[in-house]
Every structure is written in structure tokens, then in C-alpha cells.
Structure 1
Amino acid sequence: MADNQYLSNPTSVNLDTADPRDVICYMNRSDQTYSGSLGVHVSAIFVVFFVSTTFTFFPVVATNVPKIKIPLYVYLFARYFGAGVIIATAFIHLLDPAYDEIGPVTCVGMTGGWAQFSWPPAIAMASAMLVFLLDFGAERYVEKKYGFMHGSTGGQQPGGAKHASMDAAMLTYSMSHRPSGIANHHQSHQFLHSGDQDGTAPDRLETKRHDDVEATSIDIEKEHAAETSFKQQIAAFLILEFGVIFHSVIIGLTLGTAGDEFGTLYPVVVFHQTFEGLGIGARLSAIGFPRRVRWMPWVLCAVYGLTTPISIAIGLGVRHTYNPGSDTASIVSGVLDATSAGILLFTGFVELLARDFLFNPDRTHDDKQLAFMVCSVMLGAGIMALLGDLRNRAVEKQHADFYLRQMGISPASPAMAAIKLGKMLQRRRYDRVAWTTALYAIEMRGVGVSRV
């Protein structure tokens, strides 16, 4: 392997003899450059906790507290905007960073077994297939236990099963905003009493008993249908939250250990957690929880709200020893990002979009409402993609500034840096890979330099 002195002195790199891996590792290398006010970093713990928790709890509170009245379109916006957020998170905030951490053109990706295959898409595919098997296995278990076939039509299902398979969001919304129903016990009693007067009570009584047996049977079938629907929905949601929590841990560690790029990452993470929390809460509020587990949605919301702040606190604790550019950190975050991407891709397209738009027999036929739902999905995906671009620019700026410092150029003075870099290039003091990156750093700061 070529001489590795470039790790401390980039002037020693000779592109004619250097191993390509050495050059890539130099490009990917970073040091621990934590800086900034500790107080501002600590404030991020509380701000992120507040926005994550508030926006996650809001849809759950709105659908479980009858006194809170929210318009239908507000609820639909939260639900489908969140679906777009989840899908964009998988592509932009997880799969793309995984390529930067363990992809083919990274230091890790050109080392040992990592160089034998493009691992980010393989890991994402494996996690998506695993989620499919878990989801399919869970549905088959519930079907066998309760004796129902998945996807049966209304005439084949037991009484009430079709009602239980109704779009959960609309069912939950309507149940939480309707007036109390009137029991029909009084009507039955009145009907029986009138039979006593006309002499037909025995026949009427027998008929009523038969009706009561049928009603009891239907009630049991409805309970089974509701239990089936709940188990399938909560299994899908837990898989979704599992993937999101992986991502939240990485976000928290990144923000807690951030250096110069903290000022850019901070607002990006706040908005990211806001939108993602809204999506998680909207999906959770659509599940009809049985009375025995009414506590579960509140706990699941709290888990999401606490994960990123706790990770930020951990990042602050190890800020002087944790090196996000090390091979170990890159491998761990890359594998977790790719795994979470596969989970969220399957969940986003299958559980969130396909089941709501393609395979839902109770989907609305109102074109205006459907258009609103689709536009909400697109808006959520678009905003999260924009946040991903801002995040990537912040990370690239951090790396570029690191390269400039390695070359003895102050990132704080772009104009002087451009002049100094131009002179260095004329004397060929640095290889083209290193100075092209430094040039990019200067151009990011608004100073154009002609490439030589």
C-alpha cells in the first residue's frame, strides 16, 4: 500500500502512485472539532424534546379527547403529510447518508469485505424483506387465531368485520367527534310490553330470544374483527416506530457532537422532528386501541419524544472523544441508516400509502378530498427533501472547512483563502483531489476561483 504520510501531511500525496483508497480516506477523514457554546447545545435538548413531544401528542390528544374539535381536513393533512415525511426520510435522510458512510466511494466502502459489494442498498433491501416477512407472519397468525381471511369482501366476512377494516383514520376521527348514540334497549322493552297486551307475547318472546342470540354472535364477531384490526395495525406501527427511533438516535448524536455546523443543523433537526413527530402521531391516532391498552399510545408518543433529546445528551457527554469520521462510527451509523431506510420504505409505501389509497375498499370517492390527501403526501415529502438538502450542505461545509484547515487556509476568510489556494495550485503543492475539495469549500462561501 502506498505511503500513508498524507494522513498528517497532504502534500505527500502523489496521485500517480497513491492507492485510490488512500486518497478517498483522506477525503473522508475528519477530526473531532467540537466548538461553540455548551449552553446552546444544552438548549437543543429541551427544544427538541418540546417540539417532538408536542407535535407527536397533538393528533393523539385531538382524537381521544371529545372536547377537542378539529376539522376533518386538518386531521387528514396531519395524517398524509406525515406519510410523505416518512417516505422522504427513508430516501433523503437515511439511504443517502448510508452511501456517504459505507458506500462504494467511502473509506469504509473500499476496505476489506466492504469493498466486495455495494452494501447500503443490500442492507436496506434485507431490512425491507425482513419487515415484509414479519408483517406477513403477524397477519397469518392473527387470521388463524380469529378465523378470518385477510382481504375478504363484505359478504364473506363475519358481521362487522368489514366495519372493523374501515379506514382507521376516518373511523377513529368520526367516533371521537360524534354525539353519543341511543341504546335500543328501551325500544326492545317497549316492543315486548306491547306484545303482552295483544296476546302475541310468547311468539314475540321467542323471536326476541333468537334475535338476541344473533345480536350476541354478531357482537362477538365484531370484537374479533376489532381485535384483528388492532393487532395488524399496531404491529405495522411498531415496525415504523422502530425504524424512526434508529434514525432519531443518529440525529441526536450528530447534533450533540456537532461543531461549526451546529448553527445550520440545529434548526434543520427542529423542523425535522416537528414534521416526523406529526406523522408518527397522526398514524398512532388512527389505531383503535382496546380499553385494556389505552395507555399504549401515550407511551409510544413519549418514547419518540424522548429518544432524540436523550441522544443529544449522550452526544454532549462524549463530544470530546467521539469522532464521527472514524471507521467504527461510520460503520455503525451507515448500517443503522440503511436498515432504517428499508424499514421506512416498506412501511411508507405499503402500510401508509398502498393500504390507504390502493387497497382500501372504504376509501372516499370525493375527488376533492383525494386530491387534498395526495397533495399533503407530496408536500410532506418535498419539505423533508428540502431539509435533507440543507443538512447535507451543512455536513459538506464541515468537511470542506476541515480540508481547508489541513492545508493551512482559514475558512473564515474566503477571499484570502481563494488567493492563497490559487498560489498553492500554481506551485502544485497539493494534489488535485485535495485542492478541488478546498476549492469547493471556498465556492460554497460565495467566492469564485477559476479551476486550473
Structure 2
Amino acid sequence: MIDLVSRQTTYDSCLEGNFYNGKHFAARISAVPVLFVLSVVGSFAPLVAAYSRKFQIPEWIFNGIRYFGSGVIIATGFIHLMAEAAAALSNTCLGPPFTDYPFAEGIALIAVFFIFFFDIVAHYKLSNKAKARIDGEKHCNLPIGFESVTGEPSTNICRACEPIEEDQESKASKKSSDIEINERNLSKLESLYQQILNCVVLECGIVLHSIFVGLSLAIAGDEFVTLYIAIGFHQLFEGLGLGTRFATTQWPKGKRYVPWLMSLAYSLTTPFACGVGLIVRETYPAGSRTSLITTGTFDATCAGILIYNSIAELMAFDFMYSGDFKDKSIKKLLFAYLYLSLGAFAMAFIGKWA
């Protein structure tokens, strides 16, 4: 009987509402437009810099922001999402089985394997799609249909029409050359498809997390001021990470509006969630059992997605498989690594407050 009462008390301790104290209401309202502006600046600035000739910035600065943003996304997965998920799902008020097993890490692990399986299947399908496209366009010099955000068409991923009359030796040489070119172009096209897929996955993971960021700020208690400042930097840095990734991806012709829409979606999510949080500030049970489990599960899932994508697609691809540092000096590689580390450090440091 005593054990039953004890369990009931533990369960009820999760129904205490939230930490909202009624202070700084004007500042809470201002958070909606401020976070929107910071998110827009972070996510749209790289696109504007890449798209507009008037606002072009030196390549080394743009690449520095790109690697800094990658570091931000990595730290977001480890510090902001994984830590918050662990705190929510290990809350003592939840009781067994949550207090008996690291559910946050387990859910993140499931997410890693799920997104890895999704990546395998997508890579298989994209490889077949790329091969079919190469085979369909190999007999004429047609553009493959991709262009960067600047509007510049990508290198033609097909071979020029062959002359009708050629001697046997010339034909053999050209056939060997064509095979090599097609293999290289196939690899390039697969990479383009993979980068687009990576952008979509990153967007989904970060946008889902942004919902809870906005809600937590609106109903924050005594720590509201420091949380406000920290989340402001959080939105700016995270936006830079996404924006540079969108800006350096080559999008299909007719789809150049997609990165702009994705940046807009990111910019709207946190302010919108903050506005909703203000409406339900006195009734939203952030400390309830349901809320803790829901928030922790979403954060752990997003953490697994971002951690996998950050390591497999951002770090590994950018530094080892993209060819960006091929035939380049070691100095450029070290500077890129430094920017990556600075981005991770900045976001991890903000994790002390947000």
C-alpha cells in the first residue's frame, strides 16, 4: 500500500505545470519578431550572398561560414538535442522504466539506424536514377538540368555527339574516354542528388527541434533573459549552418525556389512556436509526464538524425569525399577544420544556457 502511494505521488509530481512567472511579458512578446529576424539573417544571408552579385563575399569567407555552420549543426545534435532529451526522459518523476534505462540514447540509436537505412535505400535509388539519366543523355551534349543557386549551369554531365566517320583506333580511344567520363559524371550526379537529400533531412531534424525551442522560451521562468539571449544566438548560428548548406547545393532547374522556402520554414518555426507558447503560457504543462515523454522522444530522434548526418554527410563528405581539398594546400584544410571546430565550440558553449 505504501509502495502504491509512493508511485502515485511520483506520477503526480509530473503534473506541476511550467515555470512561467509572469515577468518580462513585453520582452516575451518581442521574442517573436526578434527570433524571426535573427533566423532570417542566419538562413537567408548565405543564399543572398551566393545569388546576388551586389552582395557577393570573398570565397574564403563564405567557405569559413559554411564550415562554421557545419560545426554548429554537429554541436546542436550532441549538446542541445541529446542533452535535453536525456534530461527529459530520465526525469525521476517518470519512474520505471524511464529511470531504469537510458531511453534518450536508445531512441537516438534507433534514429541513427533508421536514417542510415533510409540513406542506403535512397542512395540505391538515386544511383539508378542517375545512371538512367546519364544513359538517356549520353548521345548529345545536353545540360543535365542542375544549376547552382547563383544560376550558373553545372558542367554538362553527358558527352558530345560523336562524329559519324572515325577509324577503329580513334573509336576505341573515344569509347574508353567516354566510359571514364560517364563514370565520373555518374558519380557527380549521385553526389548532387545526395546533397539535396541531405538538405531535406537536416531541415526536418532542425525544424522539429525548433518547435520545442520556441515553446520553452515562451514559458521560461527566472532564466528567461539568459535563455532569450542564448536562443537568439542559437537561431542565428543554426540558420547559418542551414543557409550555407542550401547555398552550396546545386538544385534542379525549376527548383531554385526550394532552398528559399526551406529557409523561410526554418525562420518561421521558432517564432511561431514562441507565439503559441505565449497564448498557452499559463496552461501548457511543460513538466507533465506526457510533455516530458513527447519532448524527449522528439529531441532524441532529431539528435540521432543530426548526429548521423553531421558526421556522415557534413564532416566526412566535405573533408574527404567532396574533392574540395584535392590538390589544395594543407593550410586550407587546417583552416576549414578550425572553422568547423569554432562552430561546434560556439554552439556547445551556448548549450550552457539553452
Aligned letter for 1:74?
I
Aligned partner of 1:107 in structure 2 is 93
User: 1:266 is matched with which residue?
Assistant: 228
Alpha-carbon spacing, 1:146–1:176, altered in 2? closer, same or farther (3 Å): closer
Give the letter aligned to residue 300 of structure 1. Answer: M
Residue 122 of structure 2 is aligned with which of 128, 138, 147? Answer: 138
Q: Distance in 2 between matches of 1:313 and 1:362?
A: 42
**Residue by residue, what CA displacement relative to the aligned partner does 1:101-149 show, whole Å, maximum 9, x if unpaired?**
112x5222x23x434532000000011111111111111001123328x
Aligned-residue Cα RMSD (Å) equals 3.6
Map residues 246-395 of structure 1 onto 2, 5 A cutoff: 246-364=208-326, 365-391=328-354
Amino acid at match of 1:347: N
User: Measured at CA, do residues 116 and 129 of structure 1 come closer, stay the same or move farther in structure 2, by a change above 3 Å?
Assistant: same
- Preserved CA contact (<8 Å) 1:82 1:278: yes
Offset at 1:230? 2.9
Once the 2 structures are TM-superposed, how far is the Cα of residue 370 of structure 1 from its aligned partner?
0.9
- On the 8 A contact 1:32/1:322 being kept in 2, the answer is no
Amino acid at match of 2:103: W
Alignment of 1:39-438 (within 5 A): 39-103=26-90, 106-108=92-94, 110-111=95-96, 113-147=97-131, 227-364=189-326, 365-391=328-354
Q: Residue 121 and residue 3 in structure 1: after superposition, are their counterparts in 2 closer, same or farther (change >3 A)?
A: closer
* Equivalent residues of 1:102, 1:334 under 8 A apart: yes
Q: Any residues of structure 2 matched to 1:17-36 within 5 Å, and which?
A: 31-36=18-23
Output the amino acid matched with 2:38.
Answer: V
Closer/same/farther in 2, CA of residues 224 and 65 from structure 1, 3 Å limit: farther
TM-score between the two structures when normalised by the length of structure 2: 0.81
Q: Once the two structures are superposed, what CA deviation does each residue of 1:392-412 show, in whole Å capped at 9, x if it has no partner? A: xxxxxxxxxxxxxxxxxxxxx
Runs of 5+ in structure 2 lacking a partner? Answer: 133-137, 156-162
Q: Secondary structure at the match of 2:254?
A: helix
CA positional deviation for 1:372 = 1.0
Q: Shift in Å at residue 37 of structure 1?
A: 3.6
With a CA cutoff of 8 Å and minimum separation of 6, indicate the structure with the bigger relative contact order: 2
Code of the residue aligned with 1:356 in structure 2: it is D
Question: Is 1:66–1:177's contact at 8 Å kept on the other side of the alignment?
Answer: no
Q: 1:259 Cα deviation (Å)? A: 2.6
Aligned-partner Cα distance in 2 for 1:332–1:240: 20
Range that drifts further, 225-234 or 336-345: 225-234
Choose 61-70 or 220-229, whichever is displaced more: 220-229
The CA distance in 2 between the partners of 1:368 and 1:24, in whole Å, is: 57
Shift of 1:4: 9.4
Distance 1:301 1:31 in 2: 31
The one-character-per-residue Cα deviations of 1:318-363 (angstroms, maximum 9, x if unpaired) are 1110021111111111001101110010011110001111333442
Closer, same or farther in 2 for the Cα pair 1:276/1:31, shift >3 Å?
Answer: closer
Q: In structure 2, how many angstroms separate the alpha carbons of the residues matched to 1:296 and 1:217?
A: 33
Secondary structure of 2:204's match?
Answer: helix
Deviation at 1:69, TM superposition (A): 2.3
Answer yes or no: is the 8 Å Cα contact 1:69–1:177 preserved in 2: no
Q: Between Structure 1 and Structure 2, whose CA radius of gyration is higher?
A: 1
CA distance in 1, matches of 2:203, 2:79: 18
Return closer, same or farther for 1:131/1:288 CA change in 2, 3 Å cut-off: same
The 8 Å contact of residues 15 and 288 in structure 2, kept in 1 or not, is answered as: no
AA at the equivalent of 1:133: F
State the number of aligned residues: 329
1:256 CA displacement = 1.4
Identity of aligned residues (%): 34
Q: Is the 8 A contact 2:50 2:247 kept in 1?
A: yes
SS of the residue 2:123 aligns to: helix
Q: Does structure 2 conserve the Cα–Cα contact (< 8 Å) formed by 1:35 and 1:260?
A: no
Secondary structure, counterpart of 2:353 in structure 1:
helix
How far apart are residue 222 of structure 1 and its match? 8.7
**Amino acid in the other structure paired with 1:286:** T
Shift in Å at residue 24 of structure 1? 10
5+ residue gaps, structure 1: 6-17, 149-157, 182-203, 392-452
Instruction: Give the secondary-structure state (helix, strand or coil) at the position aligned to 1:107.
Output: helix
- Residues 24 and 106 in structure 1, CA contact (< 8 A), matched pair in contact too: no
Is contact 1:59-1:281 (8 Å) kept?
Answer: yes
